[in-house]
Structure 1
Amino acid sequence: MKIYKFGGASVKDAEGVRNVKRVLEATGETNLVVVISAMGKTTNLLEQVVTAYREDDSSRVHDHLSTFHNYHFDILHALFSNGVHPVFQRVSDIFNELSSFLERNRSKKHSFLYDQIVCFGELVSTTIVSTYLSEVGVKNSWLDVRNYIVTNNYYRDAKVDWTTTQQRIQEGIATQGITITQGFLGSESDNNFTTTLGREGSDYTAAIFAYCLNSESVTIWKDVPGVLNADPRYFSNTTLLHTISYTEAIELAFYGASVIHPKTLQPLQRKEIPLYVKSFVNPNAPGTCVGKGELLDPMVSCFILKPNLVLLSLSSLDFSFMMEDNISDVFRWLHEYKMKVELIQNSAISFSVCVNDKYHKLAPLLKKLKETFQVHCEPNVTLYTVRHPASEDIVTLTQGKEVLLKQENLSTVQIVVADKTT
């Protein structure tokens, strides 16, 4: 048993869905769990539905849902030319289920709504891919992952109940044949409401199945040839990494490397299950293997960029030292207001923290902090992290930018800059 994961870019249109079949044929694997994300930018579109719904803007909700519907029906018409295939009704039923939820729901809690709405992207995409594969002779079974991955109710970033999840997967997943299922989703154990595992959580879903099934390997199919030493959206010169150790990959993921989800690697390392990152354009190319072995091959500097962060600089109002009790209060409030901490630095009289305001709680956090501290807030900063840097890399990276904070150790340099240009 192996695990494949196809991201949104790989199934963004009808040709992408057809290419899933070509990848399966090229690799020749017949015993698979295939994890599939929402198509293209569907999750972004459904996030707009969430926003409009919370603002009681029915016109915008209708427009976004129409876009959601038309986008997927265009793909259906390209794949199933007669327009009367039963899949059209199955997809319509999914759309109707979303509309029904929006009509009967009374909650305006953002994270709860987010998970109940965005999940429909994966439900539609897997229904289309599974049906198409069956139509062209690739026998498979469609599975609702929410019946298998059980979590707590921390919506948008749910924690997996590993004991229950493993029991359900081992008892319910066929080890022969091809199973098509959704990435990113789970359900909370008390009320069976849908939960999500965090953005890009489909990689994590693949790792969960691999861990629970003791799989031979996991392969993530991407629109890049493998893991690169930098994100090509921001850096013009990149190098393909042939092999990466689990430890190095976890470090890269921790700092925010976008190719591998931060939570994906640890369950794979626990059972020494190799992770391959390969191109769905060229499935026979070797790609990148993450496993046991040397840190990096080739050994080059690796660059990670995180834009749109917030840098907070705190000092005591009475100019006393920033001691453990002050800092513990800060961390308690950061947790309370759901700030993801990207970098911290402290001295005797100051404490700086670079955060991701994912849940848009910055205003109430600042109000709370200003009750105790003198606070300077620098929004829209960019954090660069460089693993195994050469000295010339840092000079080039910071040229023409205002450096607000720099921190380094033997293997990593982190720099916060005000200028987001690369």
Structure 2
Amino acid sequence: MKVFKFGGASVKDVKGVQNVINVLQKTDTSNAIIIVSAMGKITNALEQVVHNYLNQTTELKDSLDYIKNYHQGILRELFKNGRHPVFEKIEVFISDLETTLDRNKSTQYDYVYDQVVCYGELISTTIVSEYLLDQGYKNHWLDARDLIKTDNSYRDATVNWDKTQQNIIEKVSKIGLTVSQGFIASDPNNFTTTLGREGSDYSAGIFAYCIQAASVSIWKDVPGVLNGDPRVFKNVKLLSQISYEEAIELAFYGASVIHPKTLQPLQRKEIPLYVKSFINPENEGTSVKKGQRLIPFIPCYIVKKNQILLSLSSLDFSFIVEDNISELFNLFYNYQLKVDLIQNSAISFSVCLDDKFNTFDQLHTKLKAKFRVICEKNVSLFTIRHATDDAISLLERNKNILLKQSTKETYQMVVKQ
């Protein structure tokens, strides 16, 4: 049994949905769990629906119409006669989304977000499943919210592994094709939760762990794991193989090809991960396995944009010691701020933060009561794994560097954008 994950870019249009069959044929796959993300940029579009709804803007209807029209356009191309039952199924989801907004009483952004954005995955998987059936590929569509159970930490839920594994073993057939959603799950009260942005890879890892899959393949619009984002760095190269440990390091520092949480369940059961091109599925791509050397052994470049560089010192110039640092990290945790870099001296403490939940301004006010605070927003954090002098020199060229540090394996610098 294999697990295949198709991201939004791979099913963004008619050709993408049709290409799922091409991948199954080229890989000679008949027993698989197919995990599918929302199509194209639909998650972004649904985030706009959430924004318009909570802010009671006049654009709410237009943003809902965009979701409906986008999917109907794909349906009309895939199912030419217009009478296929999938049209009604998608209408039901759109109606459910509108009903969810009408009946909702909560003003909590994270909760509303999860109840709304889940429709992207529910709709995309229904379209893929129905198209496979239409083309003679029998499959079972399953709602991931009935399988993956979590706590109620909306937008970044923690998996209940025992309950999830029990559900998946009971409900997922190990023969034939199963289609289900990435990214979404549900809490003990059956409200929808999500696993963090780009969490569909993580969903694939969860399914693979629970059924002891032979492998996981993530189908991307790139040939595999590259040593840098080709949109940012020039002359990037394909990494043909890496270890779990190296992949986790790259993911931790912000490499976008593999979700940070995806690798942990796979590593525990030594399930191979392949990152491959959905355009050329017969190509080898990148394999991620236990103990593999990095091939080729070259510097790997990562950038995280829109970060915050926060520098603190005590008001009385006393030392920044363990008590202060412990208090600060507790605050970062409470405000859901991810720390990507740390540097401290006797009287100062600097961190580079990822404010993905937009809570920093609240923390900033709190910190000013106790510390002297210097804050630089909208900075970029560059990381080089296996850095060489030439790689560092090239990366530093013509940049306004605010902070940098280096260890044996990793070089990092914070740059003003």
Q: Given the two structures, how large is their TM-score scaled by the length of structure 2? A: 0.99
Q: What's the counterpart of residue 35 of structure 2?
A: 35
1:102 aligns with 2:138: no
Q: Considering only aligned residues, what root-mean-square deviation do their CA atoms show, in Å?
A: 0.7
Paired residue secondary structure (1:221): strand
Write the distance in 2 (CA, Å) between the matches of 1:357 and 1:273: 32
Contact 1:54 1:108 in 2 (8 A): yes
- Matching residue of 1:149: 148
SS class of match (2:88): helix
2:321 aligned to which of 315, 320, 323? 323
Check whether the contact 1:17–1:129 (CA below 8 A) recurs between aligned residues: yes
Taking the aligned partners of 2:180 and 2:363, their CA distance within structure 1 comes to 39
Alignment partner, residue 176 of structure 1: 175
Pair 1:207-2:205 in alignment: yes
**Cα deviations by residue, 1:132-188 (Å, 9 ceiling, x for unpaired):** 010011111100010000000000010000001011111111000000000001000
2:378 is paired with a residue of what secondary structure? Answer: strand
Supply the AA of the counterpart residue of 1:252: L
The aligned residue for residue 342 of structure 2 is 344
CA distance in structure 1 between the aligned counterparts of 2:403 and 2:54, rounded to whole angstroms: 37
Write the mapping of 1:308-319 to structure 2, written as runs, cut at 5 A. Answer: 308-319=306-317
Matched residue type, 2:44: N
Following superposition of structure 1 onto structure 2, how do residues 19-418 of structure 1 map, counting pairs within 5 Å?
19-57=19-57, 59-189=58-188, 191-418=189-416
SS at match of 1:138: coil
- Secondary structure in 1 matching 2:308: strand
Contact 1:277 1:287 in 2 (8 A): yes
Rounded to whole Å, the distance in 2 between the matches of 1:241 and 1:293 is: 15
Residue identity in the other structure for 1:26? K
Q: Percent of aligned pairs with the same residue?
A: 58
Quote the offset at 1:406 in angstroms.
0.8
- The residue type equivalent to 2:396 in the other structure is T
The equivalent residue for 2:9 is 9
Q: Contact 1:345–1:353 (CA<8 Å) still a contact in 2?
A: yes
Letter in 2 for 1:21: I
- Quick one: distance in 1 between partners of 2:16 and 2:171? 29
**Structure 1 residue 294: deviation in Å?**
3.0
Output the amino acid matched with 2:330.
R
Gaps of 5+ in 2: none
Using the size of structure 1 for normalisation, the TM-score is 0.98
* Amino acid in structure 1 at the alignment position of 2:14: A
8 Å CA contact 1:229, 1:303 repeated in 2 = yes
CA distance in 1, matches of 2:201, 2:286: 15
Cα deviation, 1:93-117, whole Å, max 9, x if unaligned, reads: 0000000000000101010011000
The letter of the residue matching 1:18 is Q
Counterpart contact for 1:247–1:295, Cα < 8 Å: no
Question: Distance in 2 between the 1:129 and 1:222 partners?
Answer: 17
Structure 1 residue runs without a partner (length 5+) = none
Q: Output the amino acid matched with 2:105.
A: R
Deviations 1:292-318 (A, max 9, x none): 233300001000100000000000000
1:151 is paired with a residue whose SS is coil
Structure 2: distance between partners of 1:113 and 1:391: 48
SS at match of 2:236: coil
SS at match of 1:300: coil
Q: Distance in 1 between matches of 2:362 and 2:254?
A: 26
- Equivalents in 2 of 1:371, 1:8: separation in Å? 44
1:36 alignment partner AA: V
| 1:211–1:271 CA contact under 8 A, matched in 2 | yes
**Separation (CA, whole Å) in 2 of partners of 1:292 and 1:338:** 31
CA deviation after TM superposition for structure 1 residue 344, in Å: 1.0
Q: Measure how far apart 1:340 and its partner are.
A: 1.2
How far apart in 2 are the matches of 1:263 and 1:294? 20
- 1:26-81, Cα deviation, whole Å (9 max, x unpaired): 11111100000000000000011111111011x21111110110000000000011
Query: In 2, Cα distance between the equivalents of 1:108 and 1:236?
Result: 44
Q: Which segment drifts farther, 203-212 or 292-301? A: 292-301
- 1:238 is matched by which residue type in structure 2? V
* Contact kept? 1:228, 1:241, Cα under 8 Å: yes
* Displacement of 1:10: 0.4
Secondary structure of 1:252's match? helix
Q: Provide the C-alpha distance between the structure 2 equivalents of 1:399 and 1:26, rounded to a whole number of angstroms.
A: 44
CA–CA distance in 1 between the matches of 2:404 and 2:234? Answer: 24
Instruction: Write the letter of the residue equivalent to 1:332.
Output: N
SS of 2:127's equivalent in the other structure is: helix
- SS of the aligned residue for 2:302 comes to strand
Residue 166 of structure 1 aligns with an amino acid whose one-letter code is Q
Structure 1: how far apart are the matches of 2:148 and 2:209?
12
> What letter is aligned with 2:250?
L
C-alpha distance in 2 between matches for 1:173 and 1:87: 22
Count of aligned residue pairs for this structure pair: 417
Matched to 1:152, the amino acid is D
